[in-house]
Amino acid sequence: MLLSCLWLLVGSSAHAEAPSADDVLASMRAALAEAMGTLAAATEPAYAASYAVVDHRGLTIQGSHGAHAGLVPEHYRHVDVDVRVGSMALDSTHKIRDEGFFSETPRDSYFVGFEGPLDPLRRLLLRGTDDAYRQARARLVKVRSNEVVKVAREDTSADYSLAPAVTRRELPGPVAIDNAAWQKLTREVSAIYLEYPEVYDSAVQLVVTEDDRWFVNNEGTSVLDGYRHVRIATWGETVAEDGMSLSVYDYVDVADVAHLPDRARIEAMVRQVAGRVVALRHAPLVDPWTGPAILRGRAAGVFFHEIFGHRVEGHRQKDEDEGQTFTQRVGQPILPAFLSVVDDPTIARLGSEDLNGHYAVDDEGVAAERVSLVERGILRNFLMSRAPIEGFGRSNGHGRRQPGNAVVARQGNLMVQADGVVPYAELHKRLVDEIKRQKKPFGLVFDDISGGFTFTGRSTPNSFVVSPVTVWRVYPDGRPDELVRGVDLIGTPLTTFARILAAGGDTEVFNGVCGAESGWVPVSASSPSLLVQEVEVQRREKGNDRPPLLPAPGGAQ
């Protein structure tokens, strides 16, 4: 996405006193009231507007090969100004049909500092409002013309919905990290990889994120809150003899440093990653194949996020360029009757794990809600921003964005729930039985998935590709499960969902970030292990370079 940026440093004195968080909020409210007082009386009035400021502070500490590999701080303050012109029925945000993506005017992006008086911030907000109003008014002309020359829309719902005003002031404290101690730990623990000469590159890193957010809109909503996230992660890479690059990544995400693992657990995580990288380097390839499989909990969570979650985001039901897989399926079965799916951003922890997709108020100033998407196999709801769709006229608090992007409906904490679960050992036995029933030479178990992507539009096949990290081949004759490599999981959603046979009782959580039209947002997905009657895999892309010719210093000759 193309962005035009304006940088404004507020106050240059090193001794300038930073304004309080409440002062910033008050300044934003005053600027918005002044702007709307003028624009509401314009010939083409602005009927809705909001300001959002995110103060982002980040720190990455990394060790690699037994050495300190970097301490990288970052700090910026981003301002978003949103203005709507027209009416709730048809406004300046309405999609202009058959207009290419790059024909849109780039969204203005603003960065500001807080080190001095607040007058420059207020000046920037007013200037940003003026710019946003001009762009919105010009775009509304195109919207109205487009509506005249195009066929009638299939979904005639409005472009905007009102929501109750929210007042929230809950700013978390700073993340207390001992930089020197973590530099020492990441450096020393990263040296473990030196014991594994077949691991060609590796690192251990701590990533800290602190976001403070201010939000106001013309409905009276006033929010001051924040997001805290700490990740301890490690990865190792190698190259197989056939040129395939292989990597394994493991991590622990927490919202509170008190939940970080101790050194012994981090060392164990590093050894597990290193051992898996070496094992994958010697693992056999799997040819293209179809047959029964188990998706373990984290793998099943990512699978549902990619294949199901994006297809129930509200704006995709209204956009006629989308495949609209589930638009007309409300009240109908789309999953087996023993499965239900909810998305609940209000939950901060599931069991012992912090959830990345937790928030209390979304990026349109709407209180987050638990949304029951599928109840015992029946589709009931969609994830909604303030953009209504036919049959769903209000937001349920899922309007989200990365700063600098326009808001759309997104996932938060997606949770797959199952009735009649069985222990994993029984699920594995049922997989073996299914292999025998289908007379297949083997089945597969997908232990973990690094990510994937899905096509939801009409101009491309409505399919998905998911990239497993660890895959096991399961034989029907009692041989031990065998680690394999080189496969991607592919398919189409409706066919795959119809083939889920059973669920285990071992719910696991995948924490990550998801990229879509509104940028990258933190999410989680949780699920029990799932037995699937048939999946399809294809060969994964690989390189052609040989492994390194020179051994690592101190490595095997």
In a domain, 551, yes or no: no
Please give the Cα distance from 244 to 314 (Å, whole number).
39
| Contact call for residues 203 and 231 (beta carbons, < 8 A) | no
Q: Is 545 inside a domain boundary?
A: no
What is the count of structural domains for the chain?
3
Say if residue 40's pLDDT is above 90. no
Split at pLDDT 50, 70, 90, the class of 554 is: low
The Cα–Cα gap between 278 and 236 comes to 9
pLDDT digits (tens, 9 = 90+) for 53-93: 999 999 999 999 999 999 999 999 999 999 999 999 999 99
Closest CA to 353 of 507, 126, 518, 553: 507
Contact assessment for residue 511 and residue 264, using Cβ atoms and an 8 Å cutoff = no
Say if 64 falls within a structural domain: no
Residue 554 within a domain: no
The confidence score (pLDDT) of residue 465 equals 84
The answer to whether residue 436 sits within a structural domain is yes
Q: Are 179 and 260 in contact (CB under 8 A)?
A: no
Q: Which of 247, 281, 315 is the last residue of a domain?
A: 281
Q: Is the domain of 301 the same as that of 434?
A: yes
Q: Which domain does 486 fall in, by range? A: 289-539
Q: Does one domain contain both 112 and 209?
A: no
- pLDDT given at position 225: 97
Given this model, what pLDDT does residue 4 score? 33
Structure confidence by residue, pLDDT tens digits, 183-194: 999 999 999 999
**For the purposes of burial, counting CB atoms within 10 Å of the CB of 50, is it exposed (0-12), middle (13-18) or buried (19 or more)?**
buried
Tokens 């590093």 locate to 270
* pLDDT tens profile 373-382: 999 999 999 9
- Residue among 540, 399, 542, 458 at smallest CA distance from 97: 458
* Cα 168 off chain centre by: 24
Q: Is residue 225 classed exposed, middle or buried when 0-12, 13-18 and 19+ CB atoms within 10 A define those classes?
A: middle
320 with 372, same domain: the answer is yes
Same domain for 413 and 294:
yes
* 466 and 329 together in one domain: yes
With a cut of 50, say whether residue 12 has pLDDT above it. Answer: no
Task: Note whether residue 198 is domain-resident.
Answer: yes
Using the predicted structure, report yes or no on whether residue 11 has a pLDDT greater than 70.
no
What's the mean pLDDT when you consider all of the chain?
Answer: 92
What is the rounded CA–CA span in Å between residue 423 and residue 504? Answer: 6
CB-facing half-sphere around the CA of 392: CA atoms within 13 A: 26
pLDDT digits (tens, 9 = 90+) for 100-144: 655 677 888 899 876 777 888 999 999 999 999 999 999 999 999
Average pLDDT for residues 405-434, to the nearest whole number?
Answer: 97
Name the phi and psi angles at 465, rounded to 5: -135, 125
pLDDT of 556 > 60? The answer is no
For the cut 80, the answer to whether the pLDDT of residue 169 exceeds it is: yes
- Mapping DSSP to helix (H, G, I), strand (E, B) and coil, where does residue 38 land? helix
pLDDT at 456 over 90: no
270 and 300 share a domain?
Answer: no
Mean pLDDT score, 22-46: 95
Higher-pLDDT residue of 459, 294: 294
- Binned at pLDDT 50, 70 and 90, residue 3 comes out as very low
Shared domain check, 359 and 434: yes
Chain segment 277-314, per-residue pLDDT in tens: 999 999 999 999 999 999 999 999 999 999 999 999 99
Residue 16: the pLDDT is 53
Same domain membership, residue 419 and residue 300: yes
pLDDT tens-digit map of 314-370: 999 998 888 888 999 999 999 999 999 999 999 999 999 999 999 999 999 999 999
Q: Residues 219-237: what's their mean pLDDT? A: 97
Tell me, what's the pLDDT at 7?
32
Q: How confident is the model at residue 6 (pLDDT cuts 50, 70, 90)?
A: very low
Give residue 114's pLDDT: 64
Cα–Cα distance for residue pair 79/6, rounded to 1 Å = 10
The verdict on 265 and 310 lying in the same domain is no
Q: Which residue has the tokens 């800290």?
A: 208
Taking 80 as the threshold, does the pLDDT of residue 10 lie above it? no
Return the DSSP state at 151: P
Distance CA 356, CA 511 (A): 6
Which range, of 99-113, 156-170, 203-217, 269-283, averages the lowest pLDDT?
99-113
- Burial of 518-548, coded b for 16+ CB within 10 Å and e otherwise, reads bbebbbbbbbbbbbbbbbbbbebebeeeeee
Q: What is the pLDDT of residue 392?
A: 97
Classified as helix, coil or strand, 184 is helix
Distance CA 405, CA 416 (A): 29
pLDDT of residue 452: 74
Q: Return the pLDDT at 157.
A: 96
pLDDT at res. 103: 65
* pLDDT value at residue 549: 78
Pairing assessment for the beta strands 530-539 and 487-491 based on DSSP bridges = antiparallel
Pair 14, 140 in one domain: yes
Confidence of residue 36 (pLDDT cuts 50, 70, 90): very high
Distance CA 284, CA 528 (A): 28
Residues 6+ apart with CB under 8 A from 77: 53, 54, 55, 56, 111, 112, 113, 114
- In this structure, is residue 164 part of a structural domain? yes
On whether both 296 and 442 belong to a single domain, the answer is yes
What gap in Å lies between CA 478 and CA 501, rounded to an integer? 22
Kindly tell me the burial class for residue 368, based on how many C-beta atoms sit within 10 Å of its own C-beta (0-12, 13-18, 19 or more): buried
pLDDT of 9 > 60? The answer is no
Residues 6+ apart with CB under 8 A from 101: none
pLDDT digits (tens, 9 = 90+) for 461-480: 777 888 888 999 999 999 99
Distance, CA of 393 to CA of 395 (rounded, Å):
7
User: What pLDDT, on the 0 to 100 scale, is given for residue 200?
Assistant: 95
* C-alpha to C-alpha distance for 19 and 84, rounded to whole angstroms: 30
Domain boundary among 170, 200, 228: 170
Mean pLDDT of 251-276: 96
Residue 309 DSSP code? G
Interacting residues of 448 by C-beta distance below 8 A, sequence separation 6+: 296, 298, 299, 468, 469, 470
Domain assignment present for 84: yes
- Same domain membership, residue 439 and residue 490: yes
Side-chain half-sphere CA neighbours of 545 within 13 A: 7
End-to-end CA distance of the chain: 48
Greatest alpha-carbon span in the chain: 79
